[in-house]
Structure 1
Amino acid sequence: MSGMQPVPRQIPGLPALDGPAEQVTEVWLANRRLSEHTRSAYRRDVHGWLDWCRERGLDPLGATFLDVNAYARQLEAIPLAATTVARKLSGVSSWYDFLLKLRAVGANPVGGADRPYIDRDHSSTVGLSAEEVDALLERAAAAGERTHAMITVLADLGLRVGELVGLDTGDLGWERGHRTVRFTGKGGRPRRRALTPGAAAALDAYLCVRGGDDGPLFVTSRGGRVDRHAVFRLVRRLAAEAGIADAERLSPHSLRHAFATTARAEGVPLEDVQDAMGHADPRTTRRYDRDRHNLDRDPAYTIAAARVRRAGA
């Protein structure tokens, strides 16, 4: 951005830190294990903050928590959801943490800022019941091999859409008798999951049509990689065809939420669902479980039933 002040430090091995703030951002991103989607989101968030500073003639390296507060209140006035504002500030905070480690700033101004409250027990993602997922899969099966394979993998494994579209044919394999898929999870962590028989069969049927050459697993008619936006549109179209309510508000993430809810309803332990979903914090997994407040699952019933059994012994 023209007019942005250079970072006033010389850091051995990082020549880009002599340039404007945009170059600093690229160095920061290059030093993070991030998916390309997350990298792009962080870049947008930091550039949004830098744009705001530039418009006010403010050197971002001299910004205080008062400036960050003013920025956050402006975002809220657009209005943006509290979760969106919090995410943007998180990206900016990470950028300042990087500069702090390099001693390019004396403090992280986001640290003392008034961040919006986020209800960690709530998610804005529209969920799906197990029956609605079944209906979505039925429509996907009728829409062709590629569509069926993509929706089945999302439904059966609960993958993030970025993980799905990032798959290559070489990521499919076998391990100790299990059909498997390997992928890069959130934070750049390598992960692997077992394919269900249904997902494996759907993928085999799709590969017969696609062909076995290397490259992206899910490809367009022109041979390019299917992007996340196409999957968003696909989920909503299939949901509308299946007569699912709020189809226009659904997303691939709705299937991820349904995965967690159904797994817990079927008695899968929380820690196993957490591991499958790649969550670092079990509270995140609980937030995905839409049925967690169902009174039928109240442990009081289990305790009372055990007391009755003891009394009758």
Structure 2
Amino acid sequence: MTDLATVAEPGDHLARLAATFVKAKGRKSEHTEDAYRRDLASWLTWALTNGINPLDAWPAHIQLWLAHLGQLGEAGTTQARRLGAVSSFYDWLIRHQTAPRNPAKLTKEERPVRAPRPAAALSDEHAAQLLAAADRDTPRAALIVWLLLHTGLRVTELVTARLGDVGVDRGHMVLHVHGKGGKGRTVVLVPTVVARLDAHLAQRPDGPANTMVLAGQAGAGRDRPLIATATGKPLGRHKVRLLLQRLARAAGLPQAVVDTLSPHSTRATYVTASLASGVSIYDVAQDVGHSSTDTTRGYDRSRYDPARSAAYRLQDRFARHLPTGER
């Protein structure tokens, strides 16, 4: 359920509180607003359906809700995200003296387990093939792929970036990123990425950008999407995955790679390739917006290199004992 108006009557006090909170959280991004709306609606719907007043809930109620989500098959990562959104809502209510406690403040043992989100990193060869296929496609496709692989951006960060976020910082071209939870950071745009940004801007209907200045400063350009459709509107997130898979097919990548390729894969590729190149994990965490290096390690696919798997040795070992025609 994504519409808070369906949780309670539009004039209801709870509905107004929830809508105000969601709007405040999503003031910088409609995607963030949608995420908070969905997660909060999940809890409020369950509570009201089960005769529980959300403004007087206890931790036991939250645990029952999480158990319900688990029975529905929701992953621990999704449950943890929902719990975080609900906890933030109650913190906001307490600050406004509207709720007596935060029932979502669970102990570490009570909280859902965040399982690592699987996403295979591209090999250097496959990444290069994807970059080349993007260059053969369109300037916009080239910019998207080169940006994703050379910055590790989240897809939401990519599609919500504005031209005014591009600038120069101490001689380096940079992009000011509006990350998760309203956290900002700056990523470097290397010359090859800047070249593709210029090519994309040159063919856009709304024309090239103004002279670049320090990101976030006055004069940084009109408030236009960094990646725009033919009509100048922001690109949808789902379009990015479809583009990556289409380009992967055009590049002749294995079907297994094509089927699983997503912006999360390019992010994992950035982390894996950076660490394999000897970059400090602290610098990589800064680049991709991780508050903890433990999260960054979760994206590093170099820790398990399939090429080192014992399965290949066992294949050869067992094959020596198979009949000749079955090897």
TM-score range, shorter chain: 0.7 to 0.9
- Per the alignment, do residues 112 and 174 of structure 1 end up closer, same or farther by CA in structure 2, a change over 3 Å counting? closer
**RMSD over aligned Cα, in angstroms?**
2.7
The answer to whether residue 98 in structure 2 is matched with residue 104 in structure 1 is yes
Partner of 1:27: 20
Partner of 1:307: none
Gaps of 5+ in 2: 210-221, 308-327
- Secondary structure at 1:291 match in 2: helix
Separation in 1 of the partners of 2:249 and 2:259?
Answer: 8
The answer to whether residue 99 in structure 2 is matched with residue 90 in structure 1 is no
TM superposition shift of 1:295 = 11
Return structure 1 stretches of 4+ with deviation > 6 angstroms.
none
Separation in 2 of the partners of 1:103 and 1:277?
Answer: 36
The answer to whether residue 199 in structure 2 is matched with residue 205 in structure 1 is yes
The answer to whether residue 123 in structure 2 is matched with residue 129 in structure 1 is yes
Separation in 2 of the partners of 1:27 and 1:256?
Answer: 33
Deviations 1:246-278 (A, max 9, x none): 422321121111101000000001111111112
**Any conservation in 2 of the 1:93–1:111 contact (CA below 8 Å)?**
yes
TM superposition shift of 1:5 = 8.8
Separation in 2 of the partners of 1:293 and 1:78?
Answer: 32
Separation in 2 of the partners of 1:160 and 1:2?
Answer: 31
Partner of 1:47: 41
Separation in 2 of the partners of 1:143 and 1:128?
Answer: 20
Partner of 2:290: 279
Deviations 1:152-182 (A, max 9, x none): 0111111111111122223223333322222
TM superposition shift of 1:94 = 1.4
Separation in 1 of the partners of 2:248 and 2:198?
Answer: 24
TM superposition shift of 1:184 = 1.7
Counterparts of residues 1-313 of structure 1 (less than 5 Å): 1=5, 4=8, 19-32=12-25, 35-112=29-106, 114-119=110-115, 122-210=116-204, 211-212=207-208, 214=222, 215-242=224-251, 243-244=253-254, 245-293=256-304
Separation in 2 of the partners of 1:111 and 1:212?
Answer: 49
Separation in 1 of the partners of 2:287 and 2:148?
Answer: 13
Identity of counterpart residues, as a percentage?
Answer: 37
**Any conservation in 1 of the 2:121–2:272 contact (CA below 8 Å)?**
no
Separation in 1 of the partners of 2:38 and 2:286?
Answer: 30
Separation in 2 of the partners of 1:268 and 1:44?
Answer: 37
- Per the alignment, do residues 291 and 3 of structure 1 end up closer, same or farther by CA in structure 2, a change over 3 Å counting? closer
- Per the alignment, do residues 147 and 73 of structure 1 end up closer, same or farther by CA in structure 2, a change over 3 Å counting? same
- Per the alignment, do residues 60 and 294 of structure 1 end up closer, same or farther by CA in structure 2, a change over 3 Å counting? same
TM superposition shift of 1:140 = 1.1
**Any conservation in 2 of the 1:35–1:187 contact (CA below 8 Å)?**
no
- Per the alignment, do residues 176 and 112 of structure 1 end up closer, same or farther by CA in structure 2, a change over 3 Å counting? closer
Residue range with higher mean Cα deviation, 286-295 or 60-69:
286-295
Question: How many correspondences in the alignment?
Answer: 284
Separation in 1 of the partners of 2:240 and 2:226?
Answer: 14
**Any conservation in 2 of the 1:34–1:186 contact (CA below 8 Å)?**
no
Separation in 1 of the partners of 2:190 and 2:165?
Answer: 15
